Amino acid sequence: MSTTTEPHASTLATLSKVFGDGVFTTSLFRDNLRLFVPASRLIDLLTVLKDRCGFGLLAELGATDYLGYPGRTRSRFDVHYVLRNLETAERLVVKVGAADPDPLLPSAVPLWPGADWMEREVFDMFGIRFHGHPDLRRILMPDEFTAYPLRKDYPLRGRGERHNFPRLTRGES
């Protein structure tokens, strides 16, 4: 386990050469280097990471709801992209915030087609829309489901959706 940014030296050099200062901030948690970027520059950063730094695999795409999180000052949602360089086994996490009313982010499907279903899952569970996604539908919940279940203000037991079915009796079946 490394506790420095030393394994990411060439990546960070490329990024600072392209973007300079002020586009993203970095932090280190355990052995993960994380880049925080505003949504307006997200696709630029991901494009450079894919095309010039060799991150060919989008290993994971997910979201977090920080509603009521202690000490949280940034936007309510965070969407994270876990990238993997298959040549050097380097791993990088890109995090981007999404604000509460109608969270909207650019889609990563043009870069990594594997982001298709992962973005649909994030949309299904958190209601974060991805602009430019080819087919943004629910993927886990039924189509007529209206809520976003993994949001922190959604009750664990739901709002009665699980019991909204006709009752079959012996007479009718």
Partner 1 sequence: MALGSSDRPRTLAPGASGPGSNLTVKPAGAVEVPENTILTTADAVVNWCRKYSLWPMPFATACCGIELMAVGASRFDIARFGAEVMRFSPRQCDLMIVAGRVAMKMMPVLQRIWLQMPEPKWCISMGACASSGGVFDTYAVVQGIDRFMPVDVYIPGCPPRPEQILRALMDLQAKIQKGGSLFGTGLPEMDERQKFLEEKRHAPAGHALSQERGDEDRFGYRLPGGPARLGVEETR
Binding site for partner 1 (CB under 8 A): 141-144, 149, 154-159, 161-163, 165-173
Smallest gap from Cβ 78 to partner 1, in A, equals 23
Task: DSSP letter for 36, please.
Answer: E
Nearer to partner 1, 91 or 151 (CB): 151
Smallest gap from Cβ 171 to partner 1, in A, equals 3
67, 151 contact by CB (below 8 A): yes
Three-state secondary structure call for residue 136: coil
**Maximal C-alpha separation, the chain:** 74
Task: DSSP letter for 102, please.
Answer: S
Nearer to partner 1, 6 or 143 (CB): 143
78, 72 contact by CB (below 8 A): no
Smallest gap from Cβ 150 to partner 1, in A, equals 10
Smallest gap from Cβ 158 to partner 1, in A, equals 3
Nearer to partner 1, 19 or 154 (CB): 154
Nearer to partner 1, 66 or 154 (CB): 154
Say how far apart CA 161 and CA 158 lie, in whole Å: 6
